[in-house]
Amino acid sequence: MAAQTRVALVTGAAGDLGHGIALRLARDGLDVAVNDLPARAADLDKVVAEIKALGRQSIPVPGDVSVEADVEGMVEKTVAALGGLDVMVANVGIFFAKFVVDMDVEQWDRLFAINIRGVMLCHKHAGKQMIKQGRGGRLLAACSVAGLTGAPLCGAYAASKFAVRGFIQAAASEFGKFGVTVNAYAPGFIGNTGMFADLDNGVTNALGIPKGAFEAQATSSQIKLGRLGKVEEVAGLVAYLASDIARYVTGQTIAVDGGMHLA
């Protein structure tokens, strides 16, 4: 009997990092459902076409990860169209740079709704499906080096990513008996992504420094390998954690950051 094709769902797949992760999983032989906000439906359709060009099945499942009905629907549509769900990548996240004394409560609440409530909802509904299927699974979440060490201007983002670490440790303790692993990947400064652009612009504006100064300082003193990361390097870690080879790894947050944070 031929092995059943594994199925993944990747959130934030219209963005640079989610796009790269979705394509990497497809190249590894998984069928992939891709999610982002409904306003980015056209971008999702392009990702679906790219995945199908690799010989894999794919569907768009637009929705807001902070809304439970949307997440439940995403999982249901994935299972109905692709035959199951084996890998959930709760990848989507948002960022803003502000000093604590300038924090806006509405911004704070929206960031937490996406960055940690979204992870919880994705893992809740994907996890229920994986338990029902009875063949194990992989629950993954985006953390960050900011979830390992806090930094100025990143108070809200760091707090949300520290929360991700705590959540995946607790979830790993609950899902292990079902053969479902729960892990997080923690990117550092990844070039050519909207997230790094937001960080760069936010820090540059807040500190009044010349354009390019933040990146130059980071690559010269913070990043031991002396360069920004690449999307494919993060996608490679996600692919490993999603694979059968990683079946004995759970409850971990693994950095892919060029040595910014030394464990």
Q: Which of 206, 230, 226 is nearest to 217 (CA)?
A: 226
Give me the pLDDT at residue 86, please. Answer: 99
Mean pLDDT within 228-240: 98
Look up the CATH superfamily of 7-188+230-256.
Answer: NAD(P)-binding Rossmann-like Domain (3.40.50.720)
Between CA 45 and CA 246 the distance in angstroms is: 30
Pair type for strands 31-34 and 7-10: parallel
Percent of the chain topping pLDDT 70: 99
Q: Where in the sequence of the chain do the CATH 3.40.50.720 domains occur?
A: 7-188+230-256
Coil, strand or helix at 218: helix
User: How many angstroms separate the CA atoms of 233 and 159, rounded?
Assistant: 25
**121-177 pLDDT tens trace:** 999 999 999 999 999 999 999 999 999 999 999 999 999 999 999 999 999 999 999
Q: Tens of pLDDT along 59-90?
A: 999 999 999 999 999 999 999 999 999 999 99
Predicted TM-score (pTM) of this structure:
0.96
Residue 179 tokens, joined = 């053969």
Distance in angstroms (rounded) separating the CA atoms of residues 30 and 5: 6
Q: Is 18 helix (H, G, I), strand (E, B) or coil?
A: helix
**Residue 224 known to be catalytic:** no
| Mean of all residue pLDDT scores within the chain | 97
Taking the C-alpha atoms of residue 263 and residue 261, their distance in angstroms, rounded to an integer, is 6
Statement: residue 27 has pLDDT above 90: yes
User: Catalytic pick from 46, 52, 161, 177?
Assistant: 161
Classified as helix, coil or strand, 195 is helix
- Whether the per-residue pLDDT at 2 is higher than 70: the answer is no
Q: How many other C-beta atoms are found inside a 10 Å radius of the C-beta of residue 129?
A: 20
- pLDDT above 80: residue 19: yes
Q: Is 98 one of the annotated active-site residues of the chain? A: no
Out of 46, 77, 132, 157, pick the active-site residue. Answer: 157
**pLDDT above 60 (res 48):** yes
User: What average pLDDT score do residues 27-31 get?
Assistant: 99
- In the prediction, which pLDDT does 1 show? 40
